[in-house]
Structure 1
């Protein structure tokens, strides 16, 4: 099942796809533009993987490390479908990152990879923006790169794990203003989903609602104010986001 969360007429509603519209839990049918989209779930700890596709690591001349490159993100980073993400006026290179987001459904502690997938509740699309100008280096993304308000777009739907046939073979696509710019497949993950859960749960407890962003393939390009960025993953939907300026956010 696909389900999301939206704000409409002064309340927050669970929502479901209805053709090119959205159906609220109370039965009302709305246009996508008539609602405010929220992240499909209440997000717990947000883990992000850096350089977890071999082609993207090669693109950035990154040498594979012994352990996954993982960092945490604050709750203020999360933004819903059709939201706007600010591009600071002083930056020269800001890019999207289309990623598979894995949602933990059961407490996970010290798991082996063979049991890891039993603890997954479902999946979402993520678009996790980065600003190259702010990078200290490719091995240690700093706070300004990956913890900016509204820089991690999630949605539009949460899809139950049982409805995704093979998480190890999902195609990812990113379009900028209608032009295909990025394409990849989860079969090319350096550290796959079961291994990531095994790794993380080996030294910390994963809780229901925790989200793992699994990394992005090659094909990231600079985006500018006014650009529409659309991320797609097989079976998970189409996540739309727009880039806005400092002035749009009242910053001059």
Structure 2
């Protein structure tokens, strides 16, 4: 199933898409797509739910995100692009939850930013608490998968002192959605095509089969370090084609149009604006 949250920012309602891709109102069954609801998402016939008219704004398809965990340098072809060896274990950094926004909301360049970059990524939403989970059981803790753009300001991330987090956490740097897609509908998370375009030009082309550490490995690894809670989001890394890796480097500018897709997870389409 494909779950969504729709409505004005801060006042979103839960919804689900029916077989024809029409939006249905789920708010009569659950208050929102967060917490314990993610462990037992409603198994309902969407046709029995009220039809939502028009084309309302889509918000991030999950709320109450406690942790926004990101894995760096997790694609073998991206590591090659960056001229770096594959890491011996997952590289972990955090993205502020305040960076989360809807899939088609404007991406706002921080004041003075010259090096804001894009990263299409497979996102994993945790549905059940996970602590010391073996790899063989890791996927049992997944509520669903989402499309993530790990927007990154490279000067903040790399050229300033400190950790990557400061270049990853600016407002609107975490578009998520449009849909939360259940694992049964996604199938094998290690065989999904992914792509990103800027102003209609293809920048990233990849497949999740190129992950150095697969989804199950990442969940198991993180669960050895901390408890993963329902609603936690894991962004699992990006394929080659980021702006920083181009010759010469290419970054987002005011007015740019950015779109990204992953098989079965829908499409994001956002306009870049100067803050």
* TM score, norm. by length of structure 2: 0.82
Task: Give the alignment partner of residue 57 of structure 2, picking from 26, 29, 36.
Answer: 36
Structure 1: runs of 5+ lacking an equivalent = 247-252
Structure 2: runs of 5+ lacking an equivalent = 27-48, 244-250
Contact 1:177 1:228 in 2 (8 A): yes
Task: Give the alignment partner of residue 76 of structure 1, picking from 98, 120, 124.
Answer: 98
Task: Give the alignment partner of residue 159 of structure 1, picking from 172, 177, 181.
Answer: 181
- What aligned pairs does 1:215-226 form with structure 2 within 5 A after superposition? 215-221=237-243, 222-226=251-255
- What aligned pairs does 1:90-101 form with structure 2 within 5 A after superposition? 90-101=112-123
Contact 1:172 1:231 in 2 (8 A): yes
Task: Sort the Cα spacing of 1:198 and 1:93 in 2 relative to 1 into closer, same or farther, 3 A.
Answer: same
Contact 2:194 2:260 in 1 (8 A): yes
Contact 1:97 1:129 in 2 (8 A): yes
Aligned residues: 243
Query: How large is the Cα RMSD of the aligned pairs?
Result: 2.2
Structure 1 counterpart of 2:164:
142
Contact 1:21 1:31 in 2 (8 A): no
Deviation at 1:113, TM superposition (A): 0.7
Contact 1:51 1:216 in 2 (8 A): yes
Q: How many angstroms apart in 1 are the aligned matches of 2:86 and 2:159?
A: 14
Contact 1:174 1:181 in 2 (8 A): yes
Task: Sort the Cα spacing of 1:147 and 1:123 in 2 relative to 1 into closer, same or farther, 3 A.
Answer: same
Higher strand share: 1
Structure 1 counterpart of 2:25:
24
SS at match of 1:167: coil
SS at match of 2:144: strand
Query: Cα deviations across residues 46-71 of structure 1 (Å, max 9, x unaligned)?
Result: 10111111111121222223221111
Structure 1 counterpart of 2:67:
45
Query: Cα deviations across residues 140-172 of structure 1 (Å, max 9, x unaligned)?
Result: 753321111110100000001111111110000
Query: Cα deviations across residues 99-118 of structure 1 (Å, max 9, x unaligned)?
Result: 00011111111111111111
Deviation at 1:201, TM superposition (A): 0.6
Structure 2 counterpart of 1:180:
202
Q: How many angstroms apart in 1 are the aligned matches of 2:183 and 2:163?
A: 30
Q: How many angstroms apart in 2 are the aligned matches of 1:94 and 1:166?
A: 32
Range that drifts further, 65-74 or 125-134 = 65-74
